[in-house]
Chains A and B, each alone.
Chain A
Amino acid sequence: MTRRELLQLAATLPLMVFIDPYPRQALAASTRSPQHARWDRVLILIELNGGNDGLNTLVPYGDARYYHMRPRLAIARERVLQLNEQIGLHYALAPLMPLWQQQELAWVQGVGYAEPNRSHFRSIEVWETGSDSRQIMDVGWIARLFANNPPPSTLAADGIVLGRRDAGPLSGKTIRTIALEDPQQFLVQASRVSSPTRASSNPALAHILQVQRELTHAAADFAQRLEQSPSLQASFPASPIGRQLQTAAQLLAAKIPVAVIKVSIGSFDTHANQLGHHERLLRELAEAIVAFRQAVREAGHWDRVLMMTYSEFGRRAGENASAGTDHGTAAPHFFLGGAVKGGLYGAAPSLMDLPEGDLRYHIDYRSLYRTIITNWWDLPGAMSGLSDHHVIDCLA
């Protein structure tokens, strides 16, 4: 059976009954969610799992201290892709340089939070829930945003998680998130499942039923749209991130309505023998992004896509004895997309001011979130607790 036949079969199966799992209208009426929120826009979150080394990503090649602190790990000056006379990219990010030149790439420097936690698990939880260092929250920041500002129920799903990592910012009880590996396989399997109608007070059972409802809802939409969409011309690298972004591009090209797609790449937890491993990850990331951009541009959707990276922390300024780096604090992250105003934002953390060997953050990570909420989705003031963090003027 060909792919087309499979999809046709999936599309005609009667089991995929759409049942809206949440009373969206009731929710929407009770909030101030503005009518003009831009739900046609898609956010692509890229989790750099493990804690990416910021200093070897956005390299302060103009600072002699960098070479002094990293005798084995520093990227040689002549290999750095210069962005200005102080800062440049790791050479493995070369595929991104045309995007930089076209001003579609915005680097935000020195991103972190106060009282940084160096545990992978705790720090990624901080980032993904949007909490303070000592504040425990169990709902992802996007799930929280959507709880009060529900996207329309016409979306196939609020969030789609690709790759092997957790839903993170997309996890919560009211957000409609589905995990996906291969859309075609998903459709074939989902076509055998019916949407449950009952609820349960048993939290584990309630979770399974919710997942079942979400996947039948999404599958109903996917089947039809994927069948009608042209296949992608761009070729993607065979890396895991390449495959994830290929799937993301397929979904966008098929006009599957979704607010957020999360992908992940890792592990960036480079305690030992960092150079080769880190280079490979950065290259895979850059190559996958470039293929994704090409595919999405060709499909005519690039202007409605915003990509953002995040990671639990950066790494220590100095290298360790194993030719690696240990858990640190601040790091740069980037926005990328057709509507991005390219450039360097914020200040590079000083290598002269290193409390306990760690970089000082200048921009709270929640500024990135507020920027997205305010200037991407057009939901100013939609999430409480963010007013202390300023909007970064990097989106057109």
Chain B
Amino acid sequence: MKLSFEDARHLLARTGFGGSPTEIDRVATMDREVAVDYLFEGITERAVTSPPQGMKGMTDEQKKTFRQERNDEALALKGWWYQELLSTPSPLTERMTLFWHDHFTSGYKKVKWPALLYRQNLLLRRNALGSFRDLLFEIAKDSAMMLYLDTQTNRKDHPNENFARELFELFTLGEGQYTEQDIKEAARAFTGWHVAVRHGGEFVFHQHQHDSGVKRVLGRVGAFGGDDILSIILDQPGCARHITTRLWLEFISDQPDSHEVERLAVLFRANDYHMRPLLRALLVSPQSWAPESRGVLVKSPVELLVGTGRLFQWPIQETEVLVKYGRRLGQDLFDPPNVKGWPGGTRWITSTTILARWQLLQRSLRGAESGMHQPQGAGISMAHGLAWVAQDSLDRVQAVLTALPPVTPIRDVSDRWQAVQQLVMDPVYQLK
């Protein structure tokens, strides 16, 4: 059965940043499975945006520059990701990269080395829809992660439990699936893992700082190293359940169906933790398309900015301006509030952030914000790619912009851009 315009819109809003009428029409010629496969065909492993300044290599000389200019570089890095988000041919790739950034968090304020965060971002994108097993093994040895969660100071004589704790609690199993003792023992297994901060920030293993003694973790006993712990965790059914639940919250609703999660988690393990079969099954599941899943998730600040920017083709010269907006709305890319990532969901919306969202949207439509030059009124509808605003039916314009009927029905307006403004300023525009 072919997707309706609303179905196609729903899929693009949930797996990307929404779509223009042309993009929605293209998907609306397909059925559900074909549409999801079409998204998967577009998956990329590399950013299309050229690397941010100073991050093409990591020579000693450049390292000195990092220290002097690292704040500028961090800003450039954040701007670079916004550029990629705006220009990617595969929004799903970026949505999954954002998902992993929110899952395997690392933040500039602690890591203080933008090039390592850039490298981590490439790692997340490369593995975004690959194997969770590979991703887990790579991220555990990722330099930004190791600095962020103190693997760096985890030594034989004085284990630091920070990484081990978050590995169990946030990254793989979830609360209640392990004991404090498991954390202590696992931390010992990761001793000796190190970032060579004076040699390009690569991973190194220091045998003399490694505790080679016997550990007992999740009921298994042995002289485990860090990789063994990761394998032991992946043997736990709870791990697939945890990741599946998180994906459900990201793509479907904030009410995971435990029965369906279990089915998908079993499938995830049966496919040796490959992400595509899992995500495909999730996206074609009836719950994904159910009326009660439509328009029930709040757009994150990045989704709001990127989705609006892509749709209205904001002519942004400096993506750093988006970094500033994102921060004001509560989402500073590469600087999550803590290791749990952004609280998300309805917590994106407070009296402060909703006012900031509306102010920003209003200004962007008026073209009043610096860094954006958006002509007002009828002139803009002539702009390439925005003809639909004036030419399509009002119903179709509304269907493009909002997942649900607006709270305040559109009054009879002669100026189509006024209708657009009303729809964008309506509370339902905040939903995806």
Contacts and interface: CB of A to CB of B under 8 A. Distances in A.
Interface of A: 118-122, 161, 164, 166-167, 178-181, 186, 189-190, 192-193, 196, 198, 200, 202-205, 207-209, 211-212, 214-215, 218, 267, 269, 271-272, 320-322, 326-327
Contacts of A322: 150, 153, 158, 160
Contacts of B295: 202, 204-205
Contacts of B343: 166
Interface residues of B, number: 42
Given A192-B362, A202-B295, A211-B349, 18 more contacts: A118-B180, A167-B350, A179-B350, A180-B351, A190-B355, A193-B358, A198-B407, A200-B407, A202-B431, A204-B295, A205-B407, A267-B338, A271-B150, A272-B150, A320-B153, A322-B150, A322-B158, A326-B160
B160 to A, nearest CB: 6
Contacts of A211: 349-351, 354
A327 B343 CA distance: 21
A138 B337 CA distance: 20
A254 B207 CA distance: 63
B161 A326 contact: yes
Contacts of B162: 271, 326
Interface in B152-168: 153, 155, 157-158, 160-162, 165
Nearest to B175: A122
Interface in B409-432: 427-428, 430-431
Contact of B157 (A119, A166, A321): A321
A120 B431 CA distance: 29
Interface in B333-358: 337-340, 343, 345-347, 349-356, 358
B297 interface: yes
A359 to B, nearest CB: 16
Nearest to B169: A119
Contacts of B160: 271-272, 320-322, 326
Contact of B153 (A205, A215, A272): A272
A186 B352 contact: yes
B173 interface: no
B211 to A, nearest CB: 12
B290 to A, nearest CB: 13
B427 A209 contact: yes
Contacts of B144: none
Nearest to B180: A118
B296 interface: yes
Query: Which 10 A/B pairs are nearest by Cβ-Cβ distance?
Result: A321-B158, A179-B350, A215-B351, A322-B153, A189-B355, A178-B351, A207-B346, A179-B352, A208-B427, A179-B351
Contact of B346 (A122, A200, A203, A267): A203
A166 B347 contact: yes
